[in-house]
Amino acid sequence: MKTLAIIAIGLGSIISLSNWATIYLSWETTKFVSSVPLFGALFLGLGLALFEKTRYYALLCPVADYGTLILIVSIPRLIKEEWETSNFNLIQTLLIGKSEHTKYVLKLYRKGIFIIQAVLKPLE
């Protein structure tokens, strides 16, 4: 069990450190580098929870992993955007255009929100 805990802590630490490195890489390359949420915190928390002395530190793993921390911070905004573009707030759907393989749809929502959706048909 100790071996499994050490492997989980090591894997979680590597993923967490890689997620924190995405901040520097995004700044250095001026291109967005995505982090991986949940996995670093999950492995790190699992490994820490398997040791009796570090069990309480497992609760801090979502803060230790940048990918999970950003996901937790972003959840309210994601819920808000999902609500604003839900069918409940849909005012009207308009077909803008159609080509051989693509159909363009304009969806109008409350609060002046609109989405242009491109639906692609697979090539045969």
Helix (H) or strand (E) holding 59: none
Mean pLDDT in residue range 77-89: 94
DSSP secondary structure string for all residues of 32-47? -----TTHHHHHHHHH
pLDDT at 12 over 80: yes
- The chain-wide mean pLDDT, for the chain, equals 92
Cα dihedral sign for 42, 46, 48, 53? Answer: positive
**pTM of structure:** 0.74
pLDDT at 120 over 90: no
The residues spanned by each domain of the chain are 2-83, 86-120
